[in-house]
Amino acid sequence: MATVIIPTPLRKFTQNASKLQVEAATVGEALQHLAAEYPDLKKHLLDEQGQIRSFLNLFVGEHDVRDLQWADTPLPADATLSIVPAIAGGISDWANVTFSKEELARYNRHIIIPEFGIEGQQKLKAARVLVIGSGGLGSPLLLYLAAAGVGTIGIVDFDRVDASNLQRQVLFGVDAVGQPKVDAARQRLEALNPHIRIVTYDALLNSRNALDIIRDYDVVADGTDNFPTRYLVNDACVLLGKPNVYASIFQFEGQVSVFNYRHPNGELGPNYRDLYPTPPPPGLVPSCAEGGVLGVLPGIIGSMQACEVIKVITGVGEPLSGRLFFFDALSFETRIFRVRRRADNPLTGEQPTITQLIDYEQFCGVKVVERPVREITVQELLQWQAEGRVFQLVDVREPHEYEAANIGAELIPLGTVSENAHRFSREAPVVVHCRSGVRSAKAIRELEERFGFDNLFNLKGGILAYLEEVKPELAG
């Protein structure tokens, strides 16, 4: 029988015994036996998944089981297993935070809430929050976090402000169109609150830079609009141990949750992969750019996301961990679903298989479907016309878009191309266009895959590029 040495603080759970004899083949088995025999001891040894607690060290003789085989470390009959509580602590990062007179005046309505107080405001000022995506969700999120006094706000976005953003991205005004989003966001936020620090990353978050960027922050707020980035942000947060405040929107629906949140009692909450183990088939769930979104919806959902970020930072209230909030603007119905940790989660399950970032485009199948289609530029199209070449021109936008402006093409909306496949020429080249080139590429892929067309060309940049070239006065 092996001997287990019980540390002083846990002896009150073993009737003051400092040494116990246990019949067990491995360290894990020994702990299970102890937990079964002394139920009050259990929560100090094992977490809710039955894993060895993080603030516990185990030594077989002089050797840390971390350097051996963890719970599977064999326990010979004459072995001594020492349970060693981790002794650690220190000063909170927020404790030395002070405020100027202006800041105290500014944050007064926070400070006078009894549950929030000066301590909550100190925590906000000491906090570093990374907001990924400064679009529809990012706009209210950034405005409220900056206004609330989050001391350091990082913003990741590679995009530039487009006129079609202004319907929902309230961070930007007309004068910002064409500017990099991170620059326009910085200007707006610094004007809103000069007492905070804004850090910008004018880059696309990817597997190469994600860990380095996220590492410097305490909380991540994911406001991105695509699955590869969502899985990337989730995995990076889990690997780095950062809470990930998640939200997403589509047309009239929104979702909010808090992932990878460690409760003060030590319990780790679920993450995105517990909710969605696998991504949807590529193309099934369109982005806002493809499917559209009610402009006010990201305002509602992004504000809720900001609320959860503030709760996670300050510890005020119960964050939305282990729960998914769902809002349908059409019926004005809200629901909250339970999210539980899955044993087969590849990051935090029983047998983790993901220990570093992977290729998320490939994981989400985006790469496979996005094979290139043949393209033609506006200049080439104009040259074809000048040369009098025979070709067919098809517009796959919706009828109301066609009515607003068209370049004399045949109208076959994207949703109807398959049933109208016979209207596409098999011999002459066919130039297909839409607004910017995304839908026409889809139409071409559909026709090529289902009907074997090999004479289709996508107009690069769509009607926008055409008008820019031919009638710049109409393009804006």
Partner 1 sequence: MIHFSPNVYERMLADARQTFPDECCGFLFGTETADGDRYLTDILVVDNAKEGDKRRRFEIAPQDYLAAERYADERGLTLLGVYHSHPNHPAIPSEHDRQAAQPFFSYVIVSVLDGYIGRVRSWRLNDDGQFEEEAIPPVPAKLVWPQ
Contacting residue, 3, 7, 218, 255, with partner 1 by CB under 8 A: 7
- As measured in angstroms, the least distance from the Cβ of 254 to partner 1 is 31
49, 92, 379, 416: residue in contact with partner 1 (rule CB under 8 A): 92
What is the DSSP track for 274-292?
HH-SSPPPTTSS--HHHH-
Sheet order of strands, 56-60 included: 19-22, 2-5, 80-85, 56-60, 63-64
Nearest distance, CB of residue 36 and partner 1, angstroms: 20
Distance CA 416, CA 421 (A): 9
Query: Does the footprint of partner 1 cover residue 218 (CB under 8 A)?
Result: no
Site for partner 1 in 38-67 (CB under 8 A): 44, 55, 57, 59, 64
Residue 263 makes contact with partner 1 by CB under 8 A: no
Long-range Cβ contact pairs of 290-293 (< 8 A, separation 24 or more): 290/438, 290/439, 291/250, 291/251, 292/251, 293/136, 293/168, 293/249, 293/250, 293/251
Question: Which distant-in-sequence residues (6+ apart) come within 8 Å of 249 by Cβ?
Answer: 136, 137, 255, 288, 293, 297, 298, 301
Q: For residue 125, state whether it binds partner 1 (rule: CB under 8 A).
A: no
Element (H, E) at 306: helix 296-314
Three-class SS state of 26:
strand
In terms of Cα–Cα distance, which of 175, 92, 109, 199 is closest to 147? 109
Cα 98 to chain centroid distance, Å, stands at 32
User: Counting contacts by CB under 8 A, is residue 197 touching partner 1?
Assistant: no
Q: Which of 39, 78, 91, 404: binder of partner 1 (CB under 8 A)?
A: 91
- Rounded CA gap, 435 and 240, in Å? 41
* 215 near partner 1, rule: CB under 8 A: no
Which of 1, 77, 84, 112 binds partner 1 (CB under 8 A)? It is 84
Q: Which of 237, 307, 364, 434 is catalytic?
A: 434
Name which of 84 and 204 has its Cβ closer to partner 1. 84
Q: Dihedral sign, CA of 365, 371, 375, 377?
A: positive
Taking CB under 8 A as the criterion, which residues in 233-262 touch partner 1? Answer: none
Q: Of 55 and 337, which has the nearer Cβ to partner 1?
A: 55
Of 88-96, 188-196, 356-364, 444-452, the window that binds partner 1 (rule: CB under 8 A) is 88-96
Q: Which residues are within 8 A (CB) of 240 and not within 5 positions of it... i.e. 6 or more apart?
A: 211, 214, 215
12 vs 389 by CB, closer to partner 1:
12
95 interacts with partner 1 by CB under 8 A: yes
307 is catalytic: no
Q: Which of 39, 90, 114, 476 binds partner 1 (CB under 8 A)?
A: 90
Nearer to partner 1, 44 or 433 (CB): 44
List b or e across 439-456, with b for residues whose CB sees 16 or more CB atoms inside 10 angstroms.
Answer: bbbbbbbbbbeeeebebb
- Residue 15 in the binding site for partner 1 (CB under 8 A): no
Stretch that binds partner 1, among 78-86, 155-163, 364-372, 425-433 (CB under 8 A): 78-86
Contact residue for partner 1 among 15, 21, 67, 88 (CB under 8 A): 88
* Token digits of residue 132: 């990924």
Q: Give the footprint of partner 1 on residues 283-342 (CB under 8 A).
A: 315
Minimal distance, residue 366 CB to partner 1, in Å: 39
Residue whose tokens read 């370049």 = 407
Whether residue 237 lies in the annotated active site? no
264 near partner 1, judged by CB under 8 A: yes
Q: Are 243 and 146 in contact (CB under 8 A)?
A: no
Which residue, 96 or 356, is less far from partner 1 as judged by CB? 96
Cβ pair 253, 328 in contact under 8 A:
yes
Among 50, 85, 365, 429, binds partner 1 (CB under 8 A): 85
- Binding of residue 82 to partner 1 (CB under 8 A): yes
Q: Give me the residues that bind partner 1 (CB under 8 A), please.
A: 5, 7-12, 18, 44, 55, 57, 59, 64, 82, 84-93, 95-96, 264-266, 315
Active site residues: 288, 434
